[in-house]
Amino acid sequence: MISAQLNLKSDKITEEKMKIKGMAAPAFLVAALFAANMAWAGKIVIKGSTTVLPIAQKVSEAYMKQNPSIKISISGGGSGNGMKALIDGSTDIADSSRFIKGKEVSLAVKNGIYPVPFAVAYDCIVPVVHPTNAIVNITMAQLKDIYMGKVKNWKELGGPDRPVVVISRDTSSGTYEVWHKKVMKKKRVYPGALLQASNGAVSQAVAKNKNAIGYIGIGYMSKDVKPLMVNRIVGSAATTLNGTYPISRPLFMFTPGWPKGEVLRFINFLINPEKGQKYVAEAGYVPLY
Amino acid sequence: MSKSSKTGKDRQNREQIIRFLFFGVALASITTLFLIALFLFVEGIPIFKEVSVSDFVFGEYWYPTDDPPDFGIFPLIIASIAVTVVSSAISIPLGVLTALYLAEGASARTREWFKPVVELLAALPSVVIGFFGMVIVAPVLQEILDIPTGLNLFNASLMLAFMSIPTICSLSEDAIFGVPGELKEASLALGATHWETISRVILPASISGICTAVILGMSRAMGETMVVLMVAGGATMIPTSLFDPVRPMPASIAAEMAEAPFQSEHYYALFAIAIILFLFTLAFNVIAEQFSHRYRQIGAATL
């Protein structure tokens, strides 16, 4: 379709060239520039992590509003699928909630693709309890025991004699993924944990239950729930960025080779604190700056 | 003469066309349903390459995203059956007795007002009922009964009962109201009291309709998604008490489908859950159909 349009343009140009000979050279130059521009405009394909998906969506919406000629197509599927797409060259940007693995790098290089990472945001998950709960600090080991079903009563943690109601997320969410990796060390959350399907629902359920403990992304923090310190460190943007808060991780976008053209412009937009990073905070994550 | 036969033919043609049109419409909706069922099986069957049917149905652990994953949905099936049974225990007496009152006890005026109100319950969107259960009923239950969480089997069953009462009541009432008047008159004429007439004549005469109503109501409770997702709690364990949190099959599908990678094992497993759920509700509907056909009361003759 693009080539058809180009043909049409060049036909017009030829007509004009015949009419005014003196103008021919500059007109041709304009046409050439236009053609080059057309080739760059078009689609950016983004695939990968569902955790990074909300960021990609929000930023893309804003970006497409400013650059109506660009079409960005975004799909989820998980970090692994994003990497697969990066390796076989079927995506311009691969979202990932983890760094690329050695095996994936060698596979990509074998295909002549050199993956380039860009940290785009940080993910920070905070354990929350009911506002009346007296506990202020919890250790990673205690959190793990609670979610493995070993701690059944708040008494064991120095709280009142009340049962602990454990609230977790659906296993396919990115938030669960962080929790599973950082807190559970890949051990299983016990089957008796309650399930809620979103950050908002966890917050709601914790706010309504004195016995409950849950975990939410820092962007979803509200006054209805009380955040806990983990290993005596307050979960915040500052402690996430200086690396002291334990339940956090950087989120990445990988490009096949150093990005060029539209992809470069998109990445620049995304990591600009005045532009893309605003939407990172809006999506519930910690911006880079 | 020839003109009139021509218009006769026109009329016949038109009849034919209208018939085909309606046949086409009916065929389209049936085909759609059939394709949905087909799609369900095509997307669900591949999981059985990974786990056997019996491990899937009777497996106790549901960890679809772990490495290695576990795809056991026994707790989910038990949860679905449990909420259906408990909600029926609430909704059947309430629904049927309300229907009896409306058909036999209430004055025409009360009936005129009451029935639409009961049916209005059916018009409440399930997400509203779920929200009500989550925000209002759960904290109250927890406070009064001093239980760990108000999001549990009992709360979900209560909300599901709300949703199936209109179905049960409305259909039962139709069945009871449809009992021929001469049966009732004959019974009263023989000296039976109103209660004796209801319990020995009217109920037996309308039992097939009531059974159909009950089973359709149960089938609704089993397939309901939003309510169980919001208020059942969602723990994947076999409940040991009425106040344990549970996760019925539809809740698991709704919570996990959005982010399960397309055509991954997890995705197939969720469709396989949907197959099991479909088989359950299909069985309910077949039973309901059986009841309404086999035990149908035709006039007064077969009583």
What's the pLDDT score for residue A219? 82
* For testing contact with chain A, the best of B151, B243, B265 (most A CBs within 10 A): B151
Token readout for B20 is 């085909």
Cβ neighbours around B251 below 10 Å, total: 30
pLDDT digits (tens, 9 = 90+) for B127-167: 999 999 998 999 999 989 989 888 999 999 999 999 999 99
* For testing contact with chain B, the best of A101, A146, A148, A172 (most B CBs within 10 A): A172
Cβ distance of A165 and B148 shorter than 8 Å: yes
What's the pLDDT score for residue B300? 56
Cβ distance of A191 and B75 shorter than 8 Å: yes
**Band of pLDDT at residue A26, cut at 50, 70 and 90:** very low
Task: For residue B172, report the phi and psi dihedrals to the nearest 5 degrees.
Answer: -65, -40
Token readout for A204 is 């709601």
Token readout for A233 is 């460190």
**Band of pLDDT at residue B75, cut at 50, 70 and 90:** very high
* For testing contact with chain B, the best of A79, A129, A164, A170 (most B CBs within 10 A): A170
* Backbone conformation region of residue B234, classed left if phi is above 0, alpha if psi is from -120 to 50, else beta: left
* For testing contact with chain A, the best of B67, B149, B246 (most A CBs within 10 A): B149
What's the pLDDT score for residue B218? 92
> Are A156 and A138 in contact, with CB atoms under 8 Å apart?
no
A→B interface, C-beta within 8 Å = 50, 76-78, 81, 163-165, 170-174, 176-177, 186, 188, 191-197, 201, 204-205, 208-209, 211-212
Ranked by mean pLDDT, which of A33-47, A70-84, A103-117, B112-126 comes out on top? A103-117
How many Å separate Cα B133 from the centre of its chain?
Answer: 19
Token readout for A217 is 């992304």
Cβ distance of B63 and A212 shorter than 8 Å: no
Which of residues 92 through 121 in chain B touch A, CB cutoff 8 A?
none
> Are B211 and B168 in contact, with CB atoms under 8 Å apart?
no
Region B200-204 average pLDDT:
89
Return the residue matching tokens 């904290």: B139
* For testing contact with chain B, the best of A169, A171, A181, A190 (most B CBs within 10 A): A171
Whether A24 shows a pLDDT value over 80: the answer reads no
Return the residue matching tokens 């078009």: A42
CA B227 to chain A, closest CA, distance in angstroms equals 13
In DSSP terms, which residues pair with B158 in a beta bridge?
none
A188 → closest Cβ in B66, B237, B266 = B66
B18: closest CA among B10, B28, B8?
B10
In DSSP terms, which residues pair with A94 in a beta bridge?
A47, A254
DSSP letters, A1-27, are -HHHHHHHHHHHHHHHHHH-GGGHHHH
Cα–Cα distance for residue pair B174/A78, rounded to 1 Å: 52
Token readout for A73 is 């197509």
In DSSP terms, which residues pair with B62 in a beta bridge?
B71
What's the pLDDT score for residue A59? 92
Nearest CA in chain A to B244: A192
CA B262 to chain A, closest CA, distance in angstroms equals 6
Nearest CA in chain A to B70: A188
- Annotate B259-292 with b (16+ C-beta within 10 A) or e (fewer): bbbeebbbbbbbbbbbbbbbebeeebeebbeebb
Cα–Cα distance for residue pair B238/B156, rounded to 1 Å: 15
Q: Which of A6-15, A55-64, A154-163, A231-240 has the lowest mean pLDDT?
A: A6-15
Cα–Cα distance for residue pair B91/B93, rounded to 1 Å: 6
The model's pTM is 0.77
Cα–Cα distance for residue pair B282/B295, rounded to 1 Å: 20
In DSSP terms, which residues pair with B93 in a beta bridge?
none
CA B274 to chain A, closest CA, distance in angstroms equals 17
Cα–Cα distance for residue pair B7/A141, rounded to 1 Å: 89
Cα–Cα distance for residue pair A265/A176, rounded to 1 Å: 32
Q: Which of A9-18, A46-55, A167-176, B136-145 has the lowest mean pLDDT?
A: A9-18
Cβ distance of A208 and B258 shorter than 8 Å: no
What's the pLDDT score for residue A41? 56
Cβ distance of B259 and A211 shorter than 8 Å: no
Whether B72 shows a pLDDT value over 90: the answer reads yes
| Identity of the amino acid at A209 | N
Nearest CA in chain A to B146: A162
- Which residues have CB under 8 Å from A154's CB, separation 6+? A133, A135, A160, A161, A162, A163, A164, A211
A198: closest CA among A168, A163, A241?
A168
B245 → closest Cβ in A78, A172, A194 = A194
Cβ distance of B134 and A192 shorter than 8 Å: no
Confidence check on the interface: ipTM exceeds 0.85, yes or no: no
CA B251 to chain A, closest CA, distance in angstroms equals 9
> Are A202 and A215 in contact, with CB atoms under 8 Å apart?
yes
Angstrom distances, CA of residue B24 to CA of B17, B31, B36, B38 = 10, 10, 18, 20
CA B208 to chain A, closest CA, distance in angstroms equals 40
CA B139 to chain A, closest CA, distance in angstroms equals 6
pLDDT digits (tens, 9 = 90+) for A91-117: 999 998 888 888 889 989 998 999 999
Alpha helices, DSSP H only, in A88-168?
A: 102-110, 140-147
Nearest CA in chain A to B247: A195
CA B287 to chain A, closest CA, distance in angstroms equals 33
Reduced to 3 states, what is the DSSP secondary structure of residue A169?
A: strand
B152: closest CA among B168, B174, B134?
B134
Whether A271 shows a pLDDT value over 50: the answer reads yes
How many Å separate Cα B296 from the centre of its chain?
Answer: 21
Angle, vertex CA B298, rays to CA B293 and CA B301, nearest 5: 135
Q: Which residues of A touch B64 (CB under 8 A)?
A: 171-172
* Backbone conformation region of residue B200, classed left if phi is above 0, alpha if psi is from -120 to 50, else beta: alpha
Cβ distance of A76 and B150 shorter than 8 Å: no
**Band of pLDDT at residue B301, cut at 50, 70 and 90:** low
Whether A230 shows a pLDDT value over 60: the answer reads yes
- pLDDT more than 70, % of chain B: 95
Cβ distance of B63 and A193 shorter than 8 Å: no
